[in-house]
Amino acid sequence: MPMKGVRRFGVSGKLSPRYIGPFEILERVGSLAYRLDLPPQLFGIHNVFHVSMLRKYVLHPQNVIDYQVIEVGEDVTYKERPIGILEWKWRVMRNRSIPFVKVQWQRHASDEATWEREDEMRCLFPQLFE
């Protein structure tokens, strides 16, 4: 079973989310840690975070917080799905040329699109090339 596109929270990867939230702080745990009020779909994630992992939220009365629903499995993984192909490019090596495609991923901005090999993307996601 291919594991490409399956990510865990906390594992570094080019498609792992930088920040999720904002969430309410319930209490201070120790001098540098906070307990957060996480939504039910993140039930498998420990709710105490170091202050370096948190980001300040500036309250604005017109801001309405809209949570993105992330389908998280029981083992706290989620599947990244491509939305479409933005560009094609050939990478020229010494003896051959390899086709690459720039892929726009679900729940990511267009500036976070990644270059992937065309043959791998055709095998994993043939619906993109129809």
pLDDT digits (tens, 9 = 90+) for 74-91: 887 878 889 999 999 999
* 2 and 45 fall within a common domain: yes
In terms of domains, do 12 and 55 share one? yes
Whether residues 55 and 39 share a domain: the answer is: yes
Contact (Cβ atoms closer than 8 angstroms) between residue 26 and residue 36 = yes
Supply the range of the domain harboring residue 95: 81-129
User: How many residues make up the chain in this entry?
Assistant: 130
**Residue 116's closest CA among 82, 93, 92?**
82
Distance between CA atoms of 59 and 130, rounded to whole angstroms?
Answer: 45
pLDDT value at 3 more than 80: no
Going by pLDDT thresholds of 50, 70 and 90, the confidence category of residue 92 is very high
Residue 14: the pLDDT is 63
pLDDT at residue 114, rounded to an integer: 92
Q: How buried is residue 76: exposed, middle or buried, by Cβ count under 10 Å (0-12/13-18/19+)?
A: middle
Predicted confidence (pLDDT) at residue 5 exceeds the cutoff of 80: no
Least confident residue range of 53-57, 87-91, 118-122, 123-127 = 53-57
Residues 29 and 67 reside in one and the same domain: yes
My answer on whether 71 and 124 are in the same domain is no
pLDDT at 111: 85
- The span from the CA of 88 to the CA of 96, in Å, is 16
Give 102's DSSP letter.
E
